[in-house]
Structure 1
């Protein structure tokens, strides 16, 4: 099972808690334009049409996604998630990929560490680099 949620949407946290709660799995951060289409991420070797900015694992969806939201929010100084720290370290990135356009895709998995590693390796093989807000495998 996999679902997308807008980070900024006020009710997304209720939906995430209701559908995923304290479950585990993998999440992907990406950006959509004003028409609802994903914004591609141009790489040297190939364009990532899915526009993935970050791939992460989570042992508790609710808690970790709250950390992610806080760390990405422009008015919050939280450093509880490295993805947000990297995102906020570049004003150019924040202009090109505004907070209000950020989405997450959640996928349930009991073996979340293995799934995250598989997703990162698959991304690396296809694009020859990691998503821009990931720091390592």
Structure 2
């Protein structure tokens, strides 16, 4: 059982968050930990923290970058943006990724779904 699964299944979110935050203090370039931390915040319904951590990650790595997959962390935080009523901000992030030249079917599908749901509001 991985640490992430242990934390999520056991609802040990606060301990997991503390663990991941400490890991980033030791190795801030460990990009997988950023995504796991964002996911843990989102899974524990700490949506503001998930968004804040994502935006810190986004700025730290000057995303989007066509040369890596790090931009896909937006998929992890997508529901947090929606839960917090920040669809417009999510739309802008998706738009920025697409304008950067990244071509991804899932990205396009999520972008269109968001665009359609915003048009209904």
Normalised to the residue count of structure 1, the TM-score between the two structures is: 0.31
Higher helix share: 2
Higher strand share: 1
Normalised to the residue count of structure 2, the TM-score between the two structures is: 0.34
